[in-house]
């Protein structure tokens, strides 16, 4: 696997920083709208819509990547400790940016930090449960 010691939540965190600091795009700008029906009718009438903002899109991508991180931490073997250390460092970096940079204060970064915390805790919680598995060896005895 190529993504063994790479925290995937670094990608939405980097995208957040690019949007906030380099592009100066507000996180409330709409990206696209999802059409919704107000009542089930035939033929369907889509008279409402759900607007997805830049911040919503970043959090949704981060939630999908969190799933990949949990699956990655549950794999047998591998370089598990390095994954956990890098995930924890990323959590510390997100929390520090949230607390120390006024320009980065937003609900999007708060949710990214919470997802990063869940990643760090899930990796620590899943790994010890795997290492305690007991494998019994079956030996065939020769007939007497």
Burial class (CB in 10 A: 0-12, 13-18, 19+), 67: exposed
Model confidence at 6, in pLDDT bands (50, 70, 90)? confident
Pick left, alpha or beta for residue 133 (phi over 0 → left; psi -120 to 50 → alpha; otherwise beta): beta
Model confidence at 123, in pLDDT bands (50, 70, 90)? confident
**Residue 134 predicted with pLDDT over 60:** no
Separation of alpha carbons 135 and 4, rounded Å: 25
Of the candidates 46, 80, 47, 60, the residue with the CA atom closest to the CA atom of residue 15: 60
Residue-wise pLDDT tens digits, 74-93? 776 655 677 788 889 999 99
pLDDT over 70, % of the chain? 81
Model confidence at 1, in pLDDT bands (50, 70, 90)? very low
**Residue 12 predicted with pLDDT over 60:** yes
CA 7 to chain centre: 9
Separation of alpha carbons 3 and 9, rounded Å: 12
Of the candidates 9, 12, 56, 8, the residue with the CA atom closest to the CA atom of residue 31: 56
**Residue 5 predicted with pLDDT over 50:** yes
Predicted confidence at residue 142, as pLDDT, reads 64
Of the candidates 32, 86, 92, the residue with the CA atom closest to the CA atom of residue 57: 32
CA 57 to chain centre: 12
Model confidence at 58, in pLDDT bands (50, 70, 90)? very high
Separation of alpha carbons 74 and 17, rounded Å: 29
């Amino acid at each position: 696997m190529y993504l063994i010691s790479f925290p995937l939540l670094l990608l939405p965190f980097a995208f957040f920083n690019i949007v906030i600091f380099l592009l100066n795009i507000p996180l409330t700008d709409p990206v696209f709208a999802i059409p919704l029906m107000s009542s089930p009718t035939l033929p369907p009438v889509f008279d409402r819509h759900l607007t997805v903002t830049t911040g919503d899109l970043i959090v949704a991508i981060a939630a999908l990547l969190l799933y990949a991180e949990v699956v990655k931490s549950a794999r047998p073997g591998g370089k598990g400790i390095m994954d956990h250390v890098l995930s924890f460092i990323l959590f510390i970096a997100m929390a520090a940016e949230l607390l120390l940079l006024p320009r980065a204060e937003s609900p999007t970064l708060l949710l990214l930090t919470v997802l990063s915390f869940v990643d760090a805790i899930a990796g620590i919680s899943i790994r010890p449960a795997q290492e305690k598995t007991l494998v019994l060896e079956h030996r065939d005895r020769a007939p007497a």
